């Protein structure tokens, strides 16, 4: 695997992944082309072969995060996201969690008797039992609050009072599975200009810290502007990025180089969780 580590590789990801050793990747974080919404620089998208390669190369306990949405064609959402999720299950992955990427600034839509689409799916697949989870925590609204006895209804016995003091509310709790981000506004995300559909660096950071530890290998087989790879590099993980387009690979390399050349950016730009 050594020759592929910390590289951005131009090519069809199926052909590139075929050269990887099996059970070698800790986390794949990627976003495929959504139906035929965009053509990028021309691409082929052999979904089933990609999914099969991902299963082969993912380590036991490793994770694949698949960020995806559907096109609406002739009045109906295609359902491609669900079909893909079920195929991942069919070939052996667990559907570990169906998470939501909610956008604080969604693209305005023409009104067609439906509510504005403001989210995408983040399907989290695991190969067997998840080996790494570093949960992101958020502050509890009522931290420290201690309730006296509470009155509750027990339907067989009528109203009862619990006299024991309840434990004080914890300072922090594990974040829920709907994650909200602003798209394309932050300076670090503006660096992806030139690619039509990058996801936010904060989204990549949150998944990378959740599912990997320092030194692990993070793959994005359709890396576009390189958001996953840049974020992995900044978090001291190893990365591998693949994209069909030479132009997007150059953009990804340029983004990574910026952080290689100015290591102080690590300190200045260190992500603060909870501040999206
Ligand atoms: C939704 S974009 C990914 C954007 C990326 N997450 C980012 O933050 O910039 C999908 C990418 O998949 C690439 N692509 C499509 N089919 C591919 C294939 N078979 N092999 C490699 N890359 C492919 C396209 O060139 C495009 O850049």
153 and 68 within one domain? no
Cα–ligand 1 centroid distance for 254 (angstroms) = 17
Number of domains composing the chain: 2
Q: Which atom of ligand 1 is nearest to the CA of 46?
A: 19
146 and 9 within one domain? no
Q: Each residue of 195-204: pLDDT tens digit?
A: 999 999 999 9
Whether 151 has a pLDDT exceeding 90, the answer reads no
196 and 229 within one domain? yes
Residue 55: its H or E element: helix 47-57
Q: Which of 44-48, 102-106, 122-126, 243-247 has the weakest average pLDDT?
A: 44-48
Give CA–CA dist 204/30, Å, rounded: 9
148 and 53 within one domain? no
Range of the domain at 254: 2-136+175-268
Whether 188 has a pLDDT exceeding 60, the answer reads yes
Q: Each residue of 109-148: pLDDT tens digit?
A: 888 899 999 999 999 999 999 999 999 999 999 888 887 6
Would you say residue 202 lies in a domain? yes
With a 6 A CB cut-off, is 31 part of the ligand 1 pocket? yes
180 and 53 within one domain? yes
151 and 16 within one domain? no
Alpha helical stretches, state H, 115-240: 187-190, 201-211, 227-234
With a 6 A CB cut-off, is 37 part of the ligand 1 pocket? no
CATH code of 248's domain: 3.40.50.150
Would you say residue 247 lies in a domain? yes
Whether 273 has a pLDDT exceeding 50, the answer reads no
> Model-level pTM?
0.90
126 and 164 within one domain? no
Q: Which atom of ligand 1 is nearest to the CA of 248?
A: 27
152 and 80 within one domain? no
Order of strands, sheet of 58-68, starting from the edge strand that comes earlier in the sequence: 7-10, 238-243, 217-220, 25-30, 58-68, 119-126, 94-103, 178-181
């Amino acid at each position: 695997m050594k020759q592929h580590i910390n590289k951005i590789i131009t090519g069809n990801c199926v052909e590139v992944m075929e050269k990887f050793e099996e059970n070698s990747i800790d986390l794949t974080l990627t976003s495929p082309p959504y139906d035929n919404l965009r053509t990028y620089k021309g691409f082929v998208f052999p979904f089933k072969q990609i999914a099969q390669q991902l299963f082969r190369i993912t380590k036991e306990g490793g994770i694949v995060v698949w960020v995806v949405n559907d096109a609406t064609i002739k009045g109906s959402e295609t359902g491609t996201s669900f079909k893909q999720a079920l195929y991942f299950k069919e070939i052996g992955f667990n559907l570990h969690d169906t998470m939501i990427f909610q956008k604080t600034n969604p693209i305005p839509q023409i009104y067609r008797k439906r509510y504005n689409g403001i989210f995408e799916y983040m399907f989290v697949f695991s190969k067997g039992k998840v080996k790494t989870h570093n949960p992101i925590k958020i502050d509890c609204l009522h931290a420290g609050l201690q309730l006296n006895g509470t009155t509750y209804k027990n339907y067989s016995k009528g109203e009862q009072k619990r006299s024991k003091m309840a434990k004080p509310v914890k300072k922090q709790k594990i974040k829920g599975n709907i994650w909200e981000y602003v798209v394309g506004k932050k300076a670090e995300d503006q660096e992806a200009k030139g690619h039509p559909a990058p996801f936010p660096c904060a989204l990549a950071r949150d998944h990378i810290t959740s599912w990997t530890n320092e030194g692990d290998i993070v793959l994005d087989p359709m890396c576009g502007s390189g958001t996953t790879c840049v974020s992995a590099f900044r978090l001291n993980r190893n990365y591998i990025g693949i994209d069909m387009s030479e132009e997007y690979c150059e953009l990804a390399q340029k983004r990574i180089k910026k952080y290689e050349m100015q290591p102080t950016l690590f300190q200045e730009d260190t992500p603060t969780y909870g501040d999206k």
